[in-house]
Amino acid sequence: GLGLRSRPGTLIVTDTELIHYSYSWLDTLWAIGEPPVRVSILLKSVCEVRRIDISFWIRLLQLWPDSTFHVVTDDKVRHEFVLQQRGDQFALAIRSKGIVVVNDTAGN
């Protein structure tokens, strides 16, 4: 997310799902007091992926991330992914599954 409750973790794109596995406090000090959480989003439910620009202050708070994305599902739930690295590879992986990435600086 874009606030203080951001969850550091790993983002995985499979043939059917977008999975965010957030680390626990045993994995990193950035997750102090937090349990691990796995969020799975079916790719067939994704209706929009948008690369967004964030303000200087939010970028600073998030330790200057590589890319930020809004992922919206067909039930209108919005997920915010702040990627510290490999934003272009994430956009490529999503595009390879037939999903358009709006405002994509890495490709079509």
- Given this model, what pLDDT does residue 16 score? 97
- Could you give the CA distance from residue 87 to residue 66 in angstroms, rounded to a whole number? 6
Tell me which residue of 9, 13, 35, 10 sits closest to 24, measured CA to CA.
35
Q: Show the beta-strand stretches assigned E in the chain.
A: 9-13, 17-22, 37-42, 46-52, 67-73, 78-83, 101-102
pLDDT means over runs of 10, the chain (108 residues): 68 95 80 84 96 89 88 94 92 95 68
C-alpha torsion sign, points 14, 67, 65, 6: negative
Quote the Cα angle for 31-34-35, to 5°.
Answer: 120
Write down the pTM of the prediction. Answer: 0.82
